[in-house]
Structure 1
Amino acid sequence: MLAPLKRKLARGGIGQVAGAALSVLVAAACIALAGIFITSQFIAVATDLPRYKEAVRAKLQHVMDVTVRPLERIHSEIAGVVPQDPASAAGHPKAQPHPAGPPPPTSSEGLPPQGSTAAVVFSSLWGPVSQAGIVLVLLVFILVGHETLRERMIRLAGEAEVGRTMQAIEDAAQGVARFFFSQLVVNATFGLVLALALWLVGVPHAALWGALGGLARFIPYVGALGAGAVIAAFAAAVDPGWSLMLWSIGCYVVLEVLVAHFVEPQVYGQSAGLAPLGVIVSALFWGAMWGPLGLLLSTPMTLCLVVAGRHIRTLEPITIIFGETPGLTEGLRLYQQALTGEPQNIVAPARRYLRRSNFARYCDQVLLPALALASADAKQARIERDQLERVRLTIRRAMDVLARNAPAGDASRRRRSASLLDADVGAHLAEVREQRLRLWPGPAADVKTSLVICVGLGSPRDELLGAMLEQSLRDEGIASRSIPMDLDASHGSSAAFAWSARASSGLVSTVVLAYPLQEDHEIWQSLSLRVRDAFPYAMVLTVKPPYEVGLADEMLVRGPVDLVVRSFAEVVAFVLAGRTTAA
């Protein structure tokens, strides 16, 4: 959570070390202020406790009358009915009381000297304070070397695993940071609303109990129950009756249910990615290992292991057992839903995904893997050809529903979905674009207002890929159009040259060709040459789906195109980076 703040401070010109130190000081100051506030509130409660002594005694007596006294009466009734032992019935002499012991000492003999109180307090505080200092110093050094730690991890994994290691580190960092920040916002809001509710019903020191309720929610499940019990006990102690306790319990339960079942699913989304059983088991394990600190850190630590298990085979069992979606990937789940032919089964999960990301990533991580699974099953005769067409048609209908309900060019979503990896890829591709355009003197298109067209053969596969890429670009506010060419070369040439006049006026800056299958490579080669002739000043790209089988050899595809990219997200990053460079 402190890394973004440190980077902003470092970019401000104060340097990496000063930015890291200042970030840690800000965090330590916030923690210290919260600690001082909570301590002062506890002192105020301890000062007021003698006023509630009589109410506490009356409540305890009432509880005894309700619970213990009936049991005593039942025991006496049973003792009067059941025959007693003769020896006990004859009676025994009463035991003589023990002689009174010596009177308690009235002097200060045996008591610790007054000067040792400060030593006891100091010794009790020295351990936590020293540990906190060590943590803060370590945090400073980690923040200073934050960028080099990623390089060390990549070096340990080896150069052959650079891509997978980068993706694993990015997923873990974004997942943990998103979870911590979302949890902080939700729990702080919960504490404020709880304090206001308790103040309205008349609970003394409502600010303390609101802070306690918000802090306790960082400990999964157990914390909320413990905080509710403490608040209910205090409300019962300060009120001669029972109405204040009932109002406090009602406020707490209603607020907890609303937050747990309505607010958190919307705010967190899939930030945690842990199953409820995984949260419980991880809390038990880390709590047994490290006590209360283990309870606090159980969810983020287990989250790191679950994310790592998606990329490291030896940790995959942890992801399967504790992950939110065990056994089925998102692409496989969507593939099974598409086989039913019901688009509404796809739309609802897609909307939840698009709240935290963009359509290009949804295609790369969900839609394309699902289509690859369907194509592989069709080639191996595990599904019929009409089932494959049903999957494609269902996905296309779901895309149409999502396109109608999602406004194009959502800037806030672009900011949320942008990552450092996409920015680096986009910058690299923009540099390649500039080098490519230097080789082609002519009227280059205005990338800020130009059109991106997606061209494919007239097959159902290429038409669907073109529609998906078109929607991915429009989702980012990029004007785009999908043009399916007929397999007949004459039709393809006429369609391509119909756009050549618009290309010469600078309206088309980028052309994205669908990556060919092995059996369609020759026709694709002819089509790519015609597209190059029709758009001589546009960048020509093709997207090689990483999951699909039966694709043409990449060395044969590289000739007619300028770039071969690996995902729809890279196409979007390329176009956006070109607009940024032009601006």
Structure 2
Amino acid sequence: MARTRSTGSGSPLLTLASIVVAIAALHLAKEILVPLALAIFLSFLLTPLADRLESWGLGRIPSVISVVAVTFMILGLLGWIVTSQLVDLSVQLPDWKDEIIVKIQELKPDSAVLDKVTQTIDEVSQKVSEEAPPSGSDADATSPAENSSAAGTSAKATEGTGLLDRLTQQIKAPANQEPMEVRVVGLPPSPLEQIQNWLGPIVAPLSAAGIAIVLVIFILLRREDQRNRLLQLFGASNLHASTEALTDVTERVSKYLRMQFLINAGYGICVGVGLATIGVPSAITWGVLSFSLRFLPYIGPWLSAVMPLTVSLATSTGWTEPMFVAGLFIVLELLVNNVAEPMLYGRSTGVSGVGVIIAAIFWTWVWGPIGLVLAMPLTVCVVVMSKYIPGLQFLSILLGDQSALSAPERIYQRLLAGDCEEAVEQAAEMVTTGSLVESYDQGVIPALMMAENDRHGGRLHDEQTIVVYETARDLVDDLDELAAARDAAVVRDGAVTADKAENEVASDREPLRVLCIPLRDEADDIGAAMLSKLLSRERVTVELGAVTALTSELVDSVDALHVDVVVLSIVPPLPPRSSRLLCRRLHDRYPQLPVVIGFWGAGKAEDIRRRLADDQSEVVTTLAAAVDRVKAIAARPQLAGKAS
């Protein structure tokens, strides 16, 4: 079974064919699927209410019937109120005709300049048409003398044959005319056909609503059974993944629908109350319309503002009321988009902004206006389910709100492109929200490990390697400057952390001297540079060893520089045994000298120490641990192994 899944997921043509067939089925079976989708999402919305009534001691059937009946009674009442107000509005429309004309005339701009331009163009066109010779006549090909002679001859001929010519023209005229249009007038429709024509547009939505109501009742009555059937459909052998996927879909869709219903209901109430306070007729209608249209992503709120604004323009005597109406909708949109939705939604939907637009276009194309209403819940289901179906994971990447690349991957991609500015932007968030050491450990070090893996695997040529390492050095410097600017701002604000207070106390004694030695290549040197910047912020004097230096030269530099601690910088995947020779010589010559091996981004320290076969050195895997280790050594009363 696992082999079949991998084969299907690995065939792009099969996946594409399945998607095309599914889209065609969605479009062709929309008369059946639309009521089913409405019923499923209504059941998501009503299930918490039914569960609450059932927990209070009401039975399953009475609780479901009560919830469904009250819900559709409220919808019916609102529909009746809206219909009655729309009828009253249509009766009053002729009375507002004069005010609409006045408003349009007031909005009409001063067109004096345009009128002058138009008049000039008309005069020029008229002058040109008067001076142009007539086309299609015999005068174009004859001289004036010939024209006068022909005119005299024609006059004489006309005197003798005028009556005969007129009769001939009257006889031949019908032959030159176009044929008359003949229309077949059918019999008037029968009374039964008239009733069908009247009720046709009404019966279809009513029948869909009736089907949805019945489906909602049965889904709510047997919701556990429906869940078990879906799990069986997905496969009982993969029960864990199926349960996780179904739970994820249910929680996200239920939360989204509940929050959207609450937000839209509050929005509609505020619109209705605000318009009634302003004095706009049929305020309840516009409140219900705003509640309904706000289910449409992006365009719904502004569509709901068009009709109240138009009515206020028609009914008001000035511009104050329309301005209040426009201000009401603008203020409500700002509050809902910037306060209510981020606070209630959070990241619960899992669909990106671009995904919402694509979903709205797709579902409108497949199912029409009702597809636009259902676009978000349907897309949430698709995005969540695509995470658990290997062949559809690309939909989760395209439509989901999670980043397709992790932070280290984005940084490494920018390093490959030589774009230091965007790489700094990717890592700057870690500096502003956390610390410089976190940005190094969680961002730059993993990016360097990816570069080393590609370099050792032969996937990076020499020019790319140079670009990556040069950009990485600039990134390290820029992040250090960004952290320094942030610390300076904190000091200006008067906030001094405990670490800074400890550094101020420790500044009285002689600073510790540390030698950072990059083991083999440029990546190790960049790691040593990062550790050097971190230790310098802790008032530690840091000396950097050269990458090209020999082992004997590095050992001699310990005595020459009078260092207290040696830290080796290693970026995987270089084998740790390459550091054994240097560690052995350091221990042989300076038995009491603390040696710290920084194997950045590697696994557990104990495993690395066992691979090194070195019990005298301390092993750390993060820059933060290396800084803590050096600070612990600096805090000793008497520095062991101080080279004299």
For normalisation by structure 2, the TM-score amounts to: 0.47
C-alpha RMSD of the superposition: 4.5
Q: Are residue 251 (structure 1) and residue 295 (structure 2) matched?
A: no
Deviation readout 1:277-330 (Å, 9 max, x if unpaired)? 111111111112222111100111011111112222222111111111241469
| Cα distance in 2 between the residues matched to 1:220 and 1:70 | 43
Q: Are residue 131 (structure 1) and residue 208 (structure 2) matched?
A: yes
| Cα distance in 1 between the residues matched to 2:308 and 2:396 | 37
Name the structure 2 match of 1:532: none
Q: Are residue 33 (structure 1) and residue 77 (structure 2) matched?
A: yes
Match of 1:213 among 290, 296, 321: 290
Name the structure 2 match of 1:140: 217
Match of 2:356 among 279, 288, 291: 279
Deviation readout 1:213-271 (Å, 9 max, x if unpaired)? 22211111121221122222111111233332222112212221221233211221112
Match of 1:153 among 184, 209, 230: 230
User: 3-state DSSP class of the match of 1:50?
Assistant: helix
| 1:225-244 equivalent positions in 2, closer than 5 A | 225-244=302-321
| Cα distance in 2 between the residues matched to 1:53 and 1:89 | 50
| Cα distance in 2 between the residues matched to 1:216 and 1:262 | 20
| Cα distance in 2 between the residues matched to 1:79 and 1:15 | 83
Name the structure 1 match of 2:52: 8
CA apart distance, 1:76? 2.8
| Cα distance in 2 between the residues matched to 1:52 and 1:88 | 51
| Cα distance in 2 between the residues matched to 1:67 and 1:120 | 49
| 1:20-59 equivalent positions in 2, closer than 5 A | 20-59=64-103
| Cα distance in 1 between the residues matched to 2:408 and 2:257 | 27
| Cα distance in 2 between the residues matched to 1:165 and 1:344 | 39
Deviation readout 1:130-161 (Å, 9 max, x if unpaired)? 11111111112222221122222322333442
Q: Which runs of 4+ in 1 moved over 6 A?
A: 67-70, 87-91, 110-119, 329-337, 373-378, 380-383, 516-520
Name the structure 1 match of 2:109: 66
Name the structure 2 match of 1:392: none
CA apart distance, 1:6? 2.4
Match of 1:19 among 46, 53, 63: 63
| Cα distance in 1 between the residues matched to 2:406 and 2:221 | 37
| Cα distance in 2 between the residues matched to 1:50 and 1:323 | 50
Checking the alignment, whether the CA contact within 8 Å between 2:411 and 2:427 is kept in structure 1 is no
CA separation of 1:116/1:375 partners in 2, compared to 1, >3 Å: closer, same or farther? closer
| Cα distance in 2 between the residues matched to 1:247 and 1:113 | 52
CA separation of 1:27/1:253 partners in 2, compared to 1, >3 Å: closer, same or farther? same
User: 3-state DSSP class of the match of 1:154?
Assistant: helix
User: 3-state DSSP class of the match of 1:302?
Assistant: helix
CA apart distance, 1:182? 0.8
Name the structure 1 match of 2:121: 78
Name the structure 1 match of 2:258: 181
CA apart distance, 1:128? 1.6
| Cα distance in 2 between the residues matched to 1:161 and 1:220 | 36
Per mean C-alpha deviation after superposition, the further-off stretch among 271-280 and 151-160 is 151-160
| 1:75-474 equivalent positions in 2, closer than 5 A | 75-82=118-125, 83-86=127-130, 121-328=198-405
Checking the alignment, whether the CA contact within 8 Å between 1:305 and 1:315 is kept in structure 2 is no
| Cα distance in 2 between the residues matched to 1:185 and 1:88 | 73
What letter corresponds to residue 140 of structure 1 in structure 2?
I
User: 3-state DSSP class of the match of 1:176?
Assistant: helix
CA separation of 1:68/1:273 partners in 2, compared to 1, >3 Å: closer, same or farther? farther
Checking the alignment, whether the CA contact within 8 Å between 2:411 and 2:447 is kept in structure 1 is no
What letter corresponds to residue 135 of structure 1 in structure 2?
A
Deviation readout 1:8-67 (Å, 9 max, x if unpaired)? 33444544344333332222122112212222222232233233122123334445x438
CA separation of 1:190/1:377 partners in 2, compared to 1, >3 Å: closer, same or farther? same
What letter corresponds to residue 277 of structure 2 in structure 1?
L
What letter corresponds to residue 266 of structure 2 in structure 1?
T
CA separation of 1:347/1:195 partners in 2, compared to 1, >3 Å: closer, same or farther? farther
Checking the alignment, whether the CA contact within 8 Å between 1:334 and 1:346 is kept in structure 2 is no
Per mean C-alpha deviation after superposition, the further-off stretch among 263-272 and 296-305 is 263-272
CA separation of 1:136/1:328 partners in 2, compared to 1, >3 Å: closer, same or farther? farther
Structure 2: unaligned runs, 5 residues or longer: 1-44, 136-186, 413-422, 436-441, 456-602, 608-644
CA separation of 1:342/1:135 partners in 2, compared to 1, >3 Å: closer, same or farther? closer
| Cα distance in 1 between the residues matched to 2:115 and 2:305 | 31
| Cα distance in 1 between the residues matched to 2:80 and 2:257 | 23
CA separation of 1:199/1:9 partners in 2, compared to 1, >3 Å: closer, same or farther? closer
Deviation readout 1:348-395 (Å, 9 max, x if unpaired)? 9xxxxxxxxxxxxxxxxxxxxx99x979979x9899xxxxxxxxxxxx
Checking the alignment, whether the CA contact within 8 Å between 2:290 and 2:304 is kept in structure 1 is yes
What letter corresponds to residue 333 of structure 2 in structure 1?
E
CA separation of 1:333/1:36 partners in 2, compared to 1, >3 Å: closer, same or farther? farther
CA apart distance, 1:186? 1.0
User: 3-state DSSP class of the match of 1:85?
Assistant: helix
Structure 1: unaligned runs, 5 residues or longer: 92-109, 349-369, 384-515, 521-583
| Cα distance in 2 between the residues matched to 1:116 and 1:57 | 41
CA separation of 1:186/1:158 partners in 2, compared to 1, >3 Å: closer, same or farther? same
What letter corresponds to residue 253 of structure 2 in structure 1?
V
CA apart distance, 1:207? 2.8
**Residue identity (%):** 29
